[in-house]
Structure 1
């Protein structure tokens, strides 16, 4: 609380871990239309300043907020904002002592009245807060040059409320004006796919018919998609674990919308994934010509989708500082495929015909041939839900490094991906 028509001393103590090279207080008197400034002087233990009595000529709430700046003049901390200011009740009589700065006497009440709100009954303005006579569209440098109801915007008087004369340290989105609103990145992401253990991953040939019971596994040979006929219960299985699926280059853009809430996009290209199907269609057609369609395995796999597209919503816990952590969730288009080596007992030769006697293996019941150069790939996607968190490590005001731990739920062909990434970022 403070006494009406009396200078208001304000003392601010800054925590040692924040420090600060300067401090400014912005305030608006009760009924006022513009924000004024108090430049605070450094004192023992903090910063001190005085709101003049001319701004406290009526009872009501004095609104204010505080900005702490570093030695370079960049904001590093605030207390209150324009939209959610701190308040001091101005009264005709105080219950306790009048405020004072450390080591000083409380100021005495002023005799003359100061600036008043427009048309406020019983109060005569001193003239300092009077508005000018410039109409809409007239050139201006400050809002006080314009008539009531107008503000100086981009060099001319325009319709609006408030006052934009000052060096706003508070932004409309509730954040600091010095905090960057745009974040551009270009980095690399690793894809680690959680593989589930499975049997007959390359399908199985039994009762004169080929069966592919698992719709999320496809096998590949050096020529492309594997078109053999594996025996049931002979190798042809994988154990669960984590497999490196590849990497992808991602370009990103994020925009701070309101108080750390951001919207962003990632566009990129994936390397790795499953191999090309190769000449699988040609080999299938050749097999049909040589041995008939019933004797040949039809290709089922598709080529890997390298495109990556992602939209996300994030929340920056801190918009400024050396470390700026955040969390995010989103939706995207893309694919993550990872494979491991498997052996199979193939009941046909490389051309799809019967296995020659000299190629038959005892481990394959002397019926099939053992093939060791087959890769079984778990296929996921083509959509995903990304979520996770990370942090921007600021190097300078505009440059930094983003480190992120992302997880991807692949849909509709399910898979779970661990996707760490690192990217240099440009902030402005």
Structure 2
């Protein structure tokens, strides 16, 4: 009986372990699915967070094999396709291939750039040969220069046979203070391809780079060095060897004072902070340096910035939609025509509210019809609230067009009694400043429709005042762009309607969406 119970307990325990392991594997796969849903919706940060969570679950609970490989593979896809970080993508692809050499990219999320990095990872995991002779690791011949002077271009040369099926060769280099490798296409020179790393990026203690050759189909054919094990060239203050040069070219000259790299002696001084010094703002760093994480570092020209930066308006959404509350104020006075006539028999008080034309200030318009004016005891402003919609597009970063529609919350009789449809030209006054939080616009346009104010009548029936069907529309707006897609705005909008004259002033408070 005891043995039977022990055996049953063992079987039950094994079943529980298997079920738990299966549930953990499924959790990792579910997190991957959620992450790629975010990625397909361009929610890159959320995708990365889900994949990091999947990786932690896998490592903490011992999940290996296909789920772990898929996690690393998807992290590589997000790194290359979502963040443009080829080095991180390469690391994740290599990790995926080491876990499961048979893992493949999903055609639905793969791109040529992703496929290129993945193919290069496969070559590296498969084992690239060494070029030998003290050169860089890889499967294409390359011998780096032994050293170079600071502030002097570094020649980079790679041998490529003329019959090799090579389409493009790129060098990825990084100087001291640069956060990421910068990719530059090498040019054909005698016997191969060459490039001189600019002197402005060359300063002590070293420069790092690696080289990748691609075929005409975009697939990598070979490499010299890697992002994890790059070629390193010492940068020195005094030369101990002859000056290096590309085949058939003269040795590069040292930079002039205006070309010297950021933070080096002889450069134009900014705030005084050199490379690696602490700072609170960019003004505390030398020219060419920026303050990041409280340290002065070299500027990165490739950084994206959705905030106040050069070219922001040029890169913002070209189309936009607006919705706003219109707090309208119309000016009314005696002698303005009513939208209709009193009922027959008239309601109590209507005789005093409706004034026949030709009586007092109600001028006979000689149109052959009996018209009435609305009694206005005191000239002034009457509220005509409504809602306004807009749909527009920017032709230039400072010039746009917009179609608008204003719908009043109330209106009387007649054509387009409570609706005003218009078109306008918009000009950005502050486009040159390129500050998305300081977006001031002027507009001028035309309208069709009516705005019908309703003057109070002290308890008597309150007819609406009719306006002309034509109008001009002009005003100004202040827009605060939180990013390229969402903004809030305040707008002052004036309408003058005719041939039956009416002046209205709207104060609009609204939301703008860019797309």
- TM-score band w.r.t. shorter chain: 0.3 to 0.5
Higher relative strand content: 1
Question: Which TM-score applies when normalising by structure 1?
Answer: 0.41
Higher relative contact order (CA 8 A, sep 6+): 1
TM-score by length of 2: 0.35
